Structure 1
Amino acid sequence: MLIGDAARSSGVSARMLRHYEALGLVRPTGRTTAGYRDYSAEDVRRIFQVESLRSMGLSLKQVGRALEDPNLTPAALVGDLIRCTEERLAQERELLDRLRAIDASAPADWRDVLRVIDLMRDLDSESAARRQQAVLIRSAGAPVPVELLAEALLSESEPDVAGALRWALARAGGAAVVALRAGACAEDAGIRRRAVRAISEMPEAPGATAVLAQALDDPDAAVRDCAALALGRCGMTEAVPVLVSMVAEGTHDVEAAEVLGLLCHDDERASWIVNALTDELAAPTAGTSARLRLTQALVELPVAAAEERLRRLTRDSDPDVARLASAFV
């Protein structure tokens, strides 16, 4: 069949068929007596093969290699195609996130757009000083996209830059909590730590206590401890079990004991906290160091119930604990 008939049968334009021929992808089997291209049924099938492979995202060069190289397995080609597609999608997602960040800033004119783009570029800088300066200078002026700051914080490893980002996010309040909520549930413990620490510095923001309360069950101790200290300072008794564990384990035990003292607002709460510390003291696994810290925590409680327990501890079988309790009683 002539090129026009081949084009109609395959749905590929005559111009593209000539291009395929020039590349060596599909050459017509023969020529008519007048010298016109003559495509056979097999040629048309090859056109369909080329189009099918192109529909998978292969370049014309890759299509030619797939059809001609006997050593190229379909699995290898599809694997390469998957990797290329994943890279392209990652780039597209990054572009989409940047566009959303610009849109979230509600730009009034192109100067606002350029300002956000400059911030993005500075936050991607390899210089920690430049990243920190970008956050402090721009956050002190016009509002910047909260989502952009949250994304930067969750991947920031430099303490000074992370501190600047937390400061900027704290100014956003509830919007920052929304932006950080997903980070508090991330698989990476480092990301969860950054998110929860940032939220702990704005516990009064809408939605903050709910995220922190959920973090009390986090498998990472640093996440749990950060959430417990913040919730305890807000008067939330849900933090008591974690705070008691912090004292026993010696992780920020002084801070945890101080917060437990702040939570003793009434007799009922005070008795519960005293009992929690006492139960931990009586645990078979509690060593001398842990029991000394727990005794010290009882001293920090401004309630009569704690003094009563301390008097009992003056007769404790562990002489170190008994001496510490006696000193304070």
Structure 2
Amino acid sequence: MLIGDVARRSGVSARMLRHYDSLGLVRPTGRTGAGYREYSDEDIRRIFHIESLRSLGLSLREVGRALDDPGFTPSELVDDLIRQTRERIAAETDLLTRLRRIGAAEPAGWEDVLQTVALLRDLGAKSAGERQRAALSAAGEVPVPVEALVEAVLSETDPNVAGALRWALARSGDDGLALLAEGLGSPAAEVRERAVRSIAEIPGGKATALLRKTLTNPDIVVRGYAALALGERGVADAVPTLIDMVVEGTNDADAADALSALAGRPASADRIAAMLVDRLAHGAVEPSARPRLTQALADIPGATASRALADLSHDEDRVVALTAAYVLGIRDAR
């Protein structure tokens, strides 16, 4: 079969077939009387083998080795091709992500594009100072996609940079809440904490609703940050979690302050005081928790708390009794 016929049947151009010939990959078995290349059925089968191997990403040199080296074993080469393909996919995915984020920033011109590219680069810089400057810029005039801010805040380890990123994210509204909600389910405890702390700084009803849902999160640290934020927002649903924090000694001082803030109305004060008294009952909690609960009760106004403190001033636990008596003295002096 002549080269033109082979090209039509195989889909490989005549120019490429000549290139294969020059490399020694496929040398036509014969020549016509006029000197034209003439391919045998075996030559054509080899051409199809070459094209099959090229479709896997092999170079022509690797194809020649695979076909002609009797000692060639494909496993090592295939493993290398898998590695190269993964690296290429990762690079292309990274490029696609950057392009999507630039598009989401809705640049008005190339100057905006360049600013966004520089900011995205700096958010991933090794230097904490560069990342912080980028975070502050993101809170200013340079538009940054919320997705990029969420990714940065969930991965940031430097506390100063993290604070700047949370501020920038809060200024962008509640668009990042869905992504932060995904962060709450991360297997990494530090990511879950960063997510809830970011949600806590976002104002508005949607963030409050998400924080309410977070009160059922299995991570006590996450529940605690949600409860503290809800306490600042005046949400009574946080009370049971705040009392748990006092019992467990997890940010107990902040939790007690939040309980005091929530006890601003008489009905709320009596309800919170009653819940604290229930937990103070002997055997309900570890003895070490009772002084903390007594101290938390001290900051709750109203008659229910005062009566409970009067009873606790005679408690058999000396620390509890002294704490209650001291607090009663202060309350009476007011």
- Give the TM-score normalised by structure 1: 0.87
Which residue identity does 1:308 align to in structure 2? R
Q: Which residue of 1 aligns with 2:45?
A: 45
Query: By how many angstroms is 1:137 displaced?
Result: 4.2
Residues 1-329 of structure 1 aligned to structure 2 (within 5 Å) = 1-69=1-69, 73-137=73-137, 139-202=139-202, 204-266=203-265, 269-282=268-281, 284=283, 286-329=285-328
Contact 2:274 2:304 (C-alpha < 8 Å) held by counterparts: no
For residues 2-40 of structure 1, give each alpha carbon's deviation from its aligned partner in whole angstroms, at most 9, with x where no partner exists: 222222222221222222333443333344444433322
In structure 2, C-alpha distance between the alignment counterparts of 1:71 and 1:222, rounded to whole Å: 59
SS in 2 for 1:317: coil
Query: By how many angstroms is 1:221 displaced?
Result: 3.1
The number of residue pairs the alignment matches comes to 328
SS in 2 for 1:174: coil
Query: By how many angstroms is 1:296 displaced?
Result: 0.9
Contact 2:224 2:245 (C-alpha < 8 Å) held by counterparts: yes
Sequence identity percentage: 55
Contact 1:315 1:322 (C-alpha < 8 Å) held by counterparts: yes
Change in Cα spacing, 1:97 to 1:52, as seen in structure 2 (3 Å) is same
Query: By how many angstroms is 1:288 displaced?
Result: 3.1
Contact 2:276 2:293 (C-alpha < 8 Å) held by counterparts: yes
For residues 63-118 of structure 1, give each alpha carbon's deviation from its aligned partner in whole angstroms, at most 9, with x where no partner exists: 34443455555544443333322222222221122112211222111111111112
In structure 1, C-alpha distance between the alignment counterparts of 2:279 and 2:20, rounded to whole Å: 79
Contact 1:174 1:206 (C-alpha < 8 Å) held by counterparts: no
Contact 2:200 2:211 (C-alpha < 8 Å) held by counterparts: yes
Which residue identity does 2:276 align to in structure 1? L
Q: Which moved more, 1:256-265 or 1:68-77?
A: 68-77
Change in Cα spacing, 1:74 to 1:269, as seen in structure 2 (3 Å) is farther
**Unaligned segments of structure 1, at least 5 residues:** none
Which residue identity does 2:315 align to in structure 1? D
Query: By how many angstroms is 1:297 displaced?
Result: 0.9
Change in Cα spacing, 1:125 to 1:321, as seen in structure 2 (3 Å) is same
Change in Cα spacing, 1:71 to 1:139, as seen in structure 2 (3 Å) is farther
In structure 1, C-alpha distance between the alignment counterparts of 2:275 and 2:21, rounded to whole Å: 83
SS in 2 for 1:148: helix
In structure 2, C-alpha distance between the alignment counterparts of 1:176 and 1:146, rounded to whole Å: 6
Change in Cα spacing, 1:82 to 1:284, as seen in structure 2 (3 Å) is farther
In structure 1, C-alpha distance between the alignment counterparts of 2:123 and 2:303, rounded to whole Å: 54
Which residue identity does 1:241 align to in structure 2? P
Q: Which residue of 1 aligns with 2:331?
A: none
**Unaligned segments of structure 2, at least 5 residues:** 329-334
Contact 2:116 2:143 (C-alpha < 8 Å) held by counterparts: no
In structure 2, C-alpha distance between the alignment counterparts of 1:20 and 1:282, rounded to whole Å: 89
In structure 1, C-alpha distance between the alignment counterparts of 2:283 and 2:25, rounded to whole Å: 78
In structure 2, C-alpha distance between the alignment counterparts of 1:147 and 1:266, rounded to whole Å: 40
In structure 2, C-alpha distance between the alignment counterparts of 1:162 and 1:70, rounded to whole Å: 58
Query: By how many angstroms is 1:200 displaced?
Result: 0.6
The CA RMSD measured in Å over matched residues stands at: 2.7
Query: By how many angstroms is 1:192 displaced?
Result: 2.3
SS in 1 for 2:87: helix
In structure 1, C-alpha distance between the alignment counterparts of 2:97 and 2:282, rounded to whole Å: 51
SS in 2 for 1:81: helix
Q: Which moved more, 1:99-108 or 1:78-87?
A: 78-87
Contact 2:270 2:303 (C-alpha < 8 Å) held by counterparts: no
